[in-house]
């Protein structure tokens, strides 16, 4: 049970935990102060009131005793005169007979023990509730043995005061608790601000923004955190750059021997008819794979540059209709071309956009039996290119993965592995589209097959 409590406590965010702790502590302190204040104030006031009432009763008792001794018949008048304060009652038991004045009170309601004590000669007092009103009863012996004078003084005023004081104290405690929570929340927020920034920066970095850094603060506790994070980020970025540069350098170095191979191969290929059968087949294999090797190196070189926004000198307004119409014919033979009018315009590097579309068409040819429709339209405020094929489609669980590098897997095995693809085509598509701030995803084509969708920001023409 306590374990579960601990666990659920941990799921509460640190900020709220600090806030609650602050709230609890301040409630406890304020509560303690309030209780002490209450104790002192209430006992002091009660004591004052009791002392006053007793003094008054003693004075009154003496007057009554005198009057009894003199046996004067002014006694009832005197008794009435003694009840000056409203709500006060005086009772006299003289010779076993009760006389009352002031507020109407049944003598039987006065606690018997009090009366007995007074009858025995001891002045005593007690707080009682009579008819719903708190009163202080003071009883004392008067005159002859067994005669008792009782004065009932109302405590309503005191009660009201005490009630007010207690209300103020409770409200103060609650307020202190709330202020504590607020203070704790604010303090935690201040203290955790670097953590929030760290979370943001780490999140941005995870999304591929290698330039995400923490602001350097001059607070002793936080500076090392920021410095360490930034150093780590620098190292990471450097490593990513080095890896990318390595892939780029390798591809670059491969190009020179590759150029020699391609051109030497071209000569052989042109003269394949002159070759004996086995040599011809060898040359065919060789030249086909050298070409694929070439494409792979080119793609690798391109992809090693990473996601990059195009240089401003490469950006131009591009009419998507033009892009679609310029896909090489052999890639879109027999495809329907739907272009919205007017065709949407985007700011793009035309070369890369061409490559995106060519690669998507190539992909459709390799895995979907060829493009059946190319669409240019507007969807949800974006300029959109749709490349449809009538193939088997892409299962939902692969729709992210196919955009990864060399993510060939299940989709290639079917036609013997060699589809002429480099395994980088869709990765390049994703990279270029992201570089343009756009998005690419896969849907089901309504009539069966896959639909690759590229969404880009439209610009006004």
Partner 1 sequence: MTTRVLLVEDDERIRQALGLALADEGYEIVETATGEEALELVDPDLDVVLLDLMLPGIDGIEVCSTLRSRGDLPIIIATARSDTADVIAGLEAGADDYVTKPLIAGELSARIRALLRRRRRPSGDADDGGSTSDVTLGDVVIHRSREVVERAGQQVHLTHTEFRLLAELAAARGDVVTREHLLQRVWGYDYFGDTRLLDVHVRRLRRKIEPDPDEPTLVLTVRGSGYRTGP
Residue 195 main-chain phi, psi, to 5 deg? -70, -40
Q: Give the nearest distance from C-beta 218 to partner 1 in angstroms.
A: 42
Q: Looking at beta carbons only, is 152 or 258 nearer to partner 1?
A: 258
DSSP states of 388-421 as a string? EE-SS---GGGTTGGGSTT--THHHHTTTS--S-
Q: How far apart are CA 323 and CA 338, in angstroms?
A: 13
Q: Looking at beta carbons only, is 74 or 266 nearer to partner 1?
A: 266
Q: Looking at beta carbons only, is 325 or 412 nearer to partner 1?
A: 325
The angle subtended at Cα 240 by Cα 235 and Cα 244, nearest 5°, is 145
Helix orientation angle between 223-270 and 277-303, rounded to the nearest 10 degrees = 160
Q: Give the nearest distance from C-beta 355 to partner 1 in angstroms.
A: 9
Q: Which long-range contacts (CB under 8 A, 24 or more apart) does 304-311 make?
A: 304/244, 304/245, 304/247, 304/248, 304/251, 305/244, 305/248, 306/240, 306/244, 306/431, 307/208, 307/431, 307/434, 307/435, 308/435, 309/435, 309/436, 309/437, 310/348, 310/349, 310/352, 310/435, 310/436, 311/349
* Contact indicator for 60, 82 with CB cutoff of 8 Å: yes
Q: Give the nearest distance from C-beta 339 to partner 1 in angstroms.
A: 13
Q: How far apart are CA 93 and CA 74, in angstroms?
A: 16
Q: Would you call the peptide bond into 10 cis, given omega within 30 degrees of 0 as the criterion?
A: no
Q: Give the nearest distance from C-beta 219 to partner 1 in angstroms.
A: 45
Q: Give the nearest distance from C-beta 315 to partner 1 in angstroms.
A: 11
Q: How far apart are CA 265 and CA 286, in angstroms?
A: 8
* Contact indicator for 118, 126 with CB cutoff of 8 Å: no
Q: Give the nearest distance from C-beta 299 to partner 1 in angstroms.
A: 13
Q: Where are the alpha helices (H) located in 271-404, listed in sequence order? A: 277-303, 320-325, 350-368
Q: For the chain, report the end-to-end CA distance as a whole number of angstroms.
A: 66
Q: Looking at beta carbons only, is 408 or 432 nearer to partner 1?
A: 432
Q: Looking at beta carbons only, is 60 or 349 nearer to partner 1?
A: 349
Q: Give the nearest distance from C-beta 371 to partner 1 in angstroms.
A: 15
Q: Give the nearest distance from C-beta 328 to partner 1 in angstroms.
A: 6
Q: Looking at beta carbons only, is 218 or 270 nearer to partner 1?
A: 270
Q: How far apart are CA 422 and CA 32, in angstroms?
A: 76
Q: Looking at beta carbons only, is 109 or 244 nearer to partner 1?
A: 244
Q: How far apart are CA 135 and CA 138, in angstroms?
A: 10
Q: Looking at beta carbons only, is 194 or 310 nearer to partner 1?
A: 310
Residue 348 main-chain phi, psi, to 5 deg? -155, 165
Q: Give the nearest distance from C-beta 297 to partner 1 in angstroms.
A: 8
Q: Which residues bind partner 1 (CB under 8 A)?
A: 252, 255-264, 266-267, 270-271, 294, 301, 310-311, 313-314, 316-319, 322, 325-328, 345, 349-352, 354, 358, 461
Q: Give the nearest distance from C-beta 379 to partner 1 in angstroms.
A: 20
DSSP 8-state assignment for residue 370: S
Q: Looking at beta carbons only, is 310 or 438 nearer to partner 1?
A: 310
Q: Looking at beta carbons only, is 302 or 404 nearer to partner 1?
A: 302
Q: Give the nearest distance from C-beta 308 to partner 1 in angstroms.
A: 10
Q: Looking at beta carbons only, is 45 or 254 nearer to partner 1?
A: 254
Select from 426, 427, 394, 397 the least CA-distant residue to 411: 394
Q: How far apart are CA 380 and CA 393, in angstroms?
A: 24
């Amino acid at each position: 049970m306590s374990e579960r409590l601990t666990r659920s406590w941990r799921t509460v965010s640190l900020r709220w935990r600090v806030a609650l702790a602050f709230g609890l502590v301040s409630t406890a302190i304020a509560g303690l102060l309030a209780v002490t204040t209450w104790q002192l104030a209430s006992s002091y006031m009660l004591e004052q009131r009791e002392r006053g009432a007793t003094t008054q009763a003693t004075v009154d008792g003496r007057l009554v005793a005198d009057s009894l001794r003199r046996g004067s018949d002014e006694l009832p008048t005197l008794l009435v005169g003694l009840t000056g304060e409203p709500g006060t009652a005086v009772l006299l038991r003289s010779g076993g007979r009760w006389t009352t004045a002031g507020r109407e009170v049944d003598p039987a309601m006065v606690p018997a023990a009090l009366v007995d004590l007074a009858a025995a000669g001891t002045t005593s007092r007690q707080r009682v509730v009579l008819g719903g009103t708190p009163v202080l009863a003071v009883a004392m012996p008067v005159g002859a043995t067994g005669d008792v004078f009782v004065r009932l003084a109302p405590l309503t005023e005191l009660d009201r005061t005490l009630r007010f004081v207690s209300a103020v104290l409770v409200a103060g405690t609650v307020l202190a608790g709330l202020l504590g929570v607020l203070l704790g929340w604010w303090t935690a927020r201040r203290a955790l601000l670097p953590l929030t920034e760290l979370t943001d920066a780490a999140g941005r970095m995870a999304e591929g923004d290698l330039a995400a850094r923490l602001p350097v603060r001059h607070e002793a506790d936080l500076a090392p955190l920021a410095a360490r994070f930034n150093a780590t980020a620098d190292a990471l970025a450097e490593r990513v750059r080095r890896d990318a540069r390595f892939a780029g350098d390798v591809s670059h170095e491969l190009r020179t021997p590759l150029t020699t191979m391609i051109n030497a191969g071209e000569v052989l290929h042109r003269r394949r008819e002159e070759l004996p059968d086995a040599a011809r087949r060898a040359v065919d294999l060789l030249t086909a794979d050298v070409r694929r090797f070439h494409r792979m190196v080119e793609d690798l070189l391109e992809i090693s540059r990473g996601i990059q926004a195009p240089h401003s000198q490469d950006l131009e307004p591009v009419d998507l209709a033009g892009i679609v119409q310029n896909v090489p014919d052999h890639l879109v033979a027999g495809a329907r071309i739907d272009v919205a009018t007017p065709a949407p315009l985007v700011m793009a590097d035309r070369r890369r956009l061409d490559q995106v579309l060519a690669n998507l068409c190539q992909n459709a040819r390799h895995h979907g039996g060829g493009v059946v429709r190319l669409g240019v339209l507007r969807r949800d405020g974006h300029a959109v290119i749709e490349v449809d094929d009538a193939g088997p489609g892409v299962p939902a669980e692969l729709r992210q993965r196919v955009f990864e590098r060399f993510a060939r897997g299940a989709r290639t095995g079917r036609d013997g592995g060699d589809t002429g693809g480099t395994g980088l085509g869709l990765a390049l598509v994703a990279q270029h589209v992201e570089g343009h701030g756009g998005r690419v995803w896969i849907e089901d084509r309504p009539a069966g097959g896959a639909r690759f969708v590229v969404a880009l920001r439209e610009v006004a023409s």
